[in-house]
Chains A and B, each alone.
Chain A
Amino acid sequence: MNDIHIITRRSFIRNLGLASGGLIIACSVPTTSTNDKKKLRAFNGSTFEPNLFIQLKDNGELVLLASRSEMGNGVRTSLTSVIADEMEADWTMVTVKQATGDVKYMDQNTDGSRSVRTLYEPMRKMGATAKAMLKAAAAKKWDVAATSLIAENHHIVNPATQKKLFFGDLVSEAATMPVPENPPLKDPKDFNYIGTDLKSIDGPGFASGKPKYGMDIKLDGMKYVAIARCPVTFGTLKSFEKDDATAVVGVEQVIEIPKINRPFGSLGGVAVVANNTWAAFTGRDALRVEWEPGANKGYSTEAYTKMIVDNVHQKGKEVQNIGNINRAFANAEHIVESTYTMPHLVHAPMEVPNATAHVKADGSCEVWAPTQDPQTARAEVADFLKVDKENVTINVTFLGGGFGRKSKPDFIVEAVAASKAINAPAQVVWTREDDIQHSYYHTISAQYMKGALDKEGKVTGWLHRVAYPSITSTFAPDTGYAAGFEFGMGMTNQPYPLENILCENAKAPAHVRIGWYRSVINIIQGFSVNAFVDELAAKAEKDPLAFRLELLGPDRIVESPDGYNFDSAKLKHVLTTAAKNAGYGGSLPEGHAIGLAMHYSFLSYVASAIEVSVVNGKMKIHKITSVIDCGTAVNTSTIEAQMQGAAIFGMSLTMYGKITAKDGAIEQSNYHDYQVVRMNETPEINIEIIKSSAKPTGVGEPGVPPIAPAIVNALYQVTGKRYHTLPLKDHGLV
């Protein structure tokens, strides 16, 4: 149930940062956290919990108060287009105002590919409500029945008389109309914007350098800050010598940043405060600091990888046990075994972590930052300053990429700590080296898979054992074991209805901060499942496509309590469509082959077919064909862009992605040794979006997981070799 309300109370409107007047429609979108609900009640003084807002001004301007962060996901455009479509608004009259971090705007964490998914229905309902009230207002003016009127391009029109009234001119009257209970929603065949290639609402600005990202904020008296942090995660400061740093022209002072033992606390270190960024960087490099590396100083990737490989070769903790795996292996005609390893990865968004904070004399604090999660940032800042959250304002700037890195506000806490220490506005900027060496890393993994085949090449047993430091280690004492939500990203919900399945988890303690990274564990488990099925197909001497279709079996629905059921027919359809679009099974140039993979994640179905060749030992990717079924496609231009970007993101991690530690310190430092794909390596990328009227599902992340396995499956066709460890640069292929 989504309750729609009209907001008229002036103090409330002011609190939202909106201009007074006009028609303000609010919706209460259920939040998952009861705690948040309690806070909302306190805020509103009642059970009325509006948390999503639009305003139609009397000049006709339609403003969406955007609760989700724009980081390339196109969310400001997609959400706005849904309301505009239902309202029959003129797209040129639509603007977006970015909400500050506050529970009154519902869950603002822009992650999990769920912004459109969770807001689509409430947004439609709000648009329909606004339209119904505008019609009622026009009906009153013309003294006709509202049902006889239509909305068209920002006007209410009376088809009988051809008279029309501009939305803006109806606003004050509309605001006095009763709120309709269940305003009718448009028939999807009448959508104007939904399902089209709608351009970004922020597009012209991007092409002229106008949008403000975190570092573009300039405040009077603001100081620039660069911080030296311990190379080993959670190491501490022993001593520092600052004279060489203060000798740098522009450096004003050197201060300590406290180490805060919270999941998103600052790592602590020595901060150089200067009157420009360059001086801060130069001063930071001139510091001489001694660190106490602490418990993680023994972390070295080579030894650690060996250890987790050993661990996955021994019995682990059972997380899923179906049928009788031992009997399946005992009765098998063939057994196939493989061990896969993948290293840590880092997000490396083009915009490094940065934040600007101003802790004021009255104890209040204002922050400007590229954050995916402004509410968590607000909570962390309030905790650090020991003030009520109401005293903390988090302004969300544009994000120069996030990919999960900017959902962790440690860099914001640093800026607040710096501002507090110097009694002036402070802008903390990380260098690229800081970003690569002090992140919340995508986890390192080892996986062991063992399959049983019978005489007909049918899979009769499936053992999947994983070891990776868990994301939960960032939040709670580390047990060395992962959590259900991690297993559910491609292991315990793998798509094949097999009779005998055993999934296990082996130990892998964390020695760096572990965090979300675009597509998260789906990258890891999607890789092993798709690569292993190909190996089983080869053992069964069957075509990889036919083998997968046979293994998927008759179409079936797996019901889910959240109402988003898994439909195997949809997965089958994206796979066969990708194969067809790629020309799978047809004739290819000499030495070329197509590899396949499919993965269900973030409630969307994606398959990729990737054509590669190897010439003189080097791989060339010729074409990536991906197909997505994400339910109703809200913005096809954005979906295509996200899928293209996901393919390139997937290529980067497959070819180059590798973060390693030695004696606890990260060995990579910048884009020369943490390479990402460039234009000259980018192949033709063909995207198809399956037409669907189902509820919209995830778009930002689901395109990534099939890329790595499709590439290695293609390489097998070409070279006869199985590549079980990524990245491919370690095999000399790139």
Chain B
Amino acid sequence: MATLKINGKEYTIEADSSMPLLWAIRDLVGLTGTKFGCGKGLCGACSVMLDGVSIRSCLTPVSAAEGKNIITIEGVENENKVLQEVWDELNVPQCGYCQSGQIISAAALLASNASPTSDDIDTAMSGNICRCGTYPRIKNAILKTAELNQNSN
């Protein structure tokens, strides 16, 4: 038995404490926006925010996430809606599969660095693979979101 707080809501699940958070979220809680890509923390498709930091849920056991604030793609709306809107406006996704993880990493970056440079973005986003090659538009979306947030402050 484990209790996870995901997007502000508590879920009690029957999970072995060594089960990676990814599979608890997908198979037991039933939130499927978080994706499986490699199972080894190499691609970032499974990224979720754990207390504001983008982590790889495929390597993080449920026991390490208990009592912490987990944000998945389904909860990003409350974190950074502008980012999602810009993502759509710039037509960033191709197949879309890695985009949940990309948006999580981008939202975590912007939460800690309101006006990232191109190098900052490279550093924060290079753990997230996109096989379709949407990197140029991802970078533009992050820069544009930062700009919009600056202007509205």
Contact = CB atoms under 8 A, between A and B. Distances in A.
Nearest to A209: B33
A314 to B, nearest CB: 38
Interface string A199-217: 1101111111111110110
A200 B132 CA distance: 15
B63 interface: no
B38 interface: yes
A211 to B, nearest CB: 6
Nearest to A74: B94
A419 B2 CA distance: 30
A18 to B, nearest CB: 25
A399 B35 CA distance: 13
A350 B122 contact: no
Interface string A639-681: 0011011111100000000000000000000111000111110
B43 A682 contact: no
A211 B19 contact: no
Contact of A645 (B32, B37, B43, B132): B132
A612 interface: no
A671 B58 CA distance: 14
A71 interface: yes
A679 B135 contact: yes
Contacts of B131: 348-350, 401, 403, 649, 676
Contacts of A249: 16
A318 interface: no
B53 interface: no
B100 to A, nearest CB: 5
Given A72-B132, A645-B132, A680-B123, A209 B38 contact: no
A635 to B, nearest CB: 9
Interface string B94-112: 1111111001000000000
B91 A399 contact: no
A574 B33 CA distance: 41
Interface string B33-50: 111111110110100000
Interface residues of B, number: 60
A216 B85 CA distance: 24
Contact of A350 (B19, B35, B84, B89): B35
Contacts of B100: 209
Contact of B96 (A72, A276, A277, A677): A72
A281 B19 CA distance: 11
B38 A671 contact: yes
B53 to A, nearest CB: 19
A212 B139 contact: no
B65 interface: no
B99 A432 contact: no
Contacts of A649: 131, 133
A206, A207, A348, A349 — most chain B CB neighbours (10 Å): A207
Nearest to B33: A209
A277 B98 CA distance: 19
A644 B97 contact: no
Contacts of B33: 208-210
Nearest to A685: B136
A350 B30 contact: no
B128 interface: yes
Contacts of A348: 131
B99 A207 contact: yes
A679 B132 CA distance: 12
A167 interface: no
Given A277-B36, A350-B129, A648 B84 contact: no
A277 B27 contact: yes
A641 B137 contact: yes
A200 to B, nearest CB: 6
Interface in A227-266: 249-250
B93 A678 contact: no
Contacts of A645: 94, 132-134
B36 A429 contact: yes
A10 B22 CA distance: 45
Contacts of B146: none
What class of interface size applies to chain A in its complex with B? 35 or more
B97 A351 contact: yes
Interface in B44-62: 45
B57 to A, nearest CB: 11
Interface in A421-446: 429, 431-432
A352 interface: yes
B95 A400 contact: yes
A676 B26 contact: no
A74, A209, A250 — most chain B CB neighbours (10 Å): A209
A278 interface: yes
B12 interface: no
Given A206-B99, A398-B95, A400-B95, A671 B129 contact: yes
Contacts of A431: 39
Given A209-B100, A350-B95, A400-B95, A199 B35 contact: no
A199 B96 contact: no
Contacts of B132: 72, 350, 401, 641, 645
B129 A278 contact: no
B101 to A, nearest CB: 9
B40, B100, B103, B131 — most chain A CB neighbours (10 Å): B131
A224 B27 contact: yes
Contacts of A205: 96
Contacts of B94: 72-74, 641-642, 645
Nearest to A197: B91
A637 interface: yes
B73 interface: yes
Contacts of B128: 678-679
A336 to B, nearest CB: 34
A403 B130 CA distance: 13
B35, B129, B132 — most chain A CB neighbours (10 Å): B132
Contact of B97 (A199, A207, A278, A400): A400
A218 interface: yes
Interface in A175-229: 197, 199-200, 202-213, 215-216, 218, 224
A507 to B, nearest CB: 33
B113 interface: no
Interface string A92-128: 0000000000000000000000000000000000000
Question: What are the nearest 7 A-B pairs in CB distance?
Answer: A209-B33, A400-B97, A648-B133, A72-B95, A72-B94, A209-B73, A645-B133
17 contacts: A199-B89, A206-B88, A211-B96, A212-B32, A250-B16, A277-B27, A277-B36, A278-B27, A349-B97, A350-B43, A350-B130, A400-B97, A402-B95, A429-B36, A647-B133, A677-B133, A680-B125
Given A203-B87, A678-B126, 15 more contacts: A72-B93, A202-B96, A204-B84, A208-B33, A209-B73, A211-B96, A215-B36, A276-B23, A276-B28, A349-B97, A432-B38, A644-B133, A670-B42, A672-B40, A685-B136
Interface of B: 16, 19-20, 23, 26-28, 30-40, 42-43, 45, 72-74, 76-77, 84-85, 87-89, 91-100, 103, 121-123, 125-139
